[in-house]
Amino acid sequence: MMEEKIAAFQSKVPAEGNAADTSVNFGGELLSANAHRGVQLLLPKTRAGVSLELDRMRALGAKSVTVAVGFPILYKPFLEWNGDAGDYQGLLDFYKQLAADVRTRGMKLVIESGTLFPGVYSAGSGFKLADYYGTLTNQEYIAGRAEMAATIAQQIHPDYLVVGSEPDTEAKLTKRTSLSTPNGFALLIAKIVTRVRAAGVRDIPIGAGVGTWTPDGEAYIRSMVRAAPALDFVDLHVYPVNAGFLDNLIQFTDVAQSLGKKVAICEAWLQKERDSEFAKLDATFDPTVYSRDAFSFWAPLDQKFLKAIVDFCRWKKVLVLSPYWTRYFNAYLEYDDVKRLTPAQVIARANAAAAAAMMKNQFSETGRFYQRAISGAPGQ
């Protein structure tokens, strides 16, 4: 099913002549600096791991890296509430140093400032996220999101700032149904953009968007652009290929560009689930789907997906492409070795395998494929 969906999408994407286009900031997610790690970011070994991952990304030819710095990791009232007020400056300094490290390597920094996931994905963070979201009124939540985005813009100064791209996910995580409507989400984005610009930050492009699985994604895009005309680009997240979601990538891009907005793809990976599972397995809370990515037998299909998305980005002159599960650029796992483990254990094993491969300067064939694809090498 997935192979058929990718092939059908690829057939709609012209590839001839695209390889010479160098305007796309091809990059990837910097997982070692992800804010879901919480207080682990302050450990001495984390800095070394981030530096190593940056070096490996640069070796693959990445022109940019994307980092998830989600609310409320840099929001002082949250850290005070969580009992970690003394960690605020350390966490801010961590990301300021990261920005410097990225630029030292001649790369661009993309920060996604959405909302952190409670539960399994932030289990080692030390953050009581679900409890905290429950203490906030809608107005307090919006004000907090806006204040943290302004802090990121002023203090860290990324090259691109994304302030929200999955309205349905954010609504689930925070239990705020207002965010699951085009007008409600557009109000949040407009408040954030206004706050960042009011802070005097004019030179950082700001983006927001939707996932390509969003049924009324076009309505969200139009509502955001109408409510926040100062929005510089629309960010699209590309994961499932079920139904006609890949075709939505073309449709949503065309809509954004018709409204005078550029487009970025700051998250993308081939999500492994059957059509029959899509409405049953919610990856927002259940790691079962993401644990499947680790198996080495997916490599050829991952490469076909990446090629289709790289070709699309050249075709549509996309600002940024950032594949998400970049650990598989370094290593996969053999299914037989982990088939009896829980999804969380598989993910932990995959992280360890990627770290070991980075230490040895090793890349998977998918990593090497991506390197050739973004370089425009013949045959890719």
Show the domains of the chain with their CATH numbers: 2-13+22-374 (3.20.20.80)
Radius of gyration of the chain (CA): 19
Tell me, rounded to whole angstroms, the distance of Cα 142 from its chain centroid: 21
Exposure of 81 in the CB half-sphere (CA atoms within 13 A):
17
Contact between residue 272 and residue 2 where contact means Cβ atoms under 8 Å apart: yes
Nearest CA to 187 out of 143, 147, 133 is that of: 143
How far is 35 from 113, CA to CA, in rounded Å?
Answer: 10
The pLDDT assigned to 213 comes to 97
Cα–Cα distances in Å, from 97 out to 27, 94, 298, 308, 367?
Answer: 19, 5, 35, 34, 26
CA distance 324 to 270: 10
Give the per-residue pLDDT at 19: 61
pLDDT at position 308 is 97
> Which 8-state DSSP code applies to residue 319?
S
Express as a percent the part of the chain with pLDDT over 90.
Answer: 94
- Cis check for the bond before 44: say yes or no (omega within 30 of 0): no
Query: Is it the case that residue 380 has pLDDT exceeding 70?
Result: no
Q: What's the confidence (pLDDT) of residue 16?
A: 58
pLDDT at position 21, please? 66
Mean pLDDT, rounded, for 109-125 = 96
Task: Determine the pLDDT at residue 211.
Answer: 98
Q: How far is Cα 258 from Cα 266, in angstroms, rounded to an integer?
A: 20
* Average confidence score pLDDT of the chain: 96
219-223, long-range: CB < 8 A, 24+ apart: 219/182, 220/167, 220/182, 220/185, 220/186, 221/252, 221/255, 221/256, 221/259, 222/182, 222/255, 222/259, 223/182, 223/183, 223/185, 223/186
Give the pLDDT mean for 31-54: 97
170-219: pLDDT as tens digits: 999 999 999 999 999 999 999 999 999 999 999 999 999 999 999 999 99
pLDDT at residue 22 greater than cutoff 90: no
Say whether pLDDT at 109 is over 70. yes
Using H for helix, E for strand and C for coil, what is the string for 244-301?
CHHHHHHHHHHHHHHCCCEEEEEEECCCCCCHHHCCCCCCCCCCHHHHHCCEHHHHHH
Query: Of 323, 339, 351, nearest to 265 (Cα)?
Result: 323
Residues 259 and 22: beta-carbon distance below 8 Å: no
Measured N-to-C along each axis, helices 217-227 and 182-198 cross at an angle, to the nearest 10 degrees, of 40
pTM of this prediction? 0.96
Task: Say whether pLDDT at 4 is over 70.
Answer: yes
CA distances from 86 to 10, 42, 179, 239, 357 (A): 50, 12, 32, 37, 35
**Average pLDDT, stretch 237-262?**
97
- Backbone φ and ψ for 334, nearest 5 degrees, come out as -80, 130
**Segment 224-245, tens digit of pLDDT:** 999 999 999 999 999 999 999 9
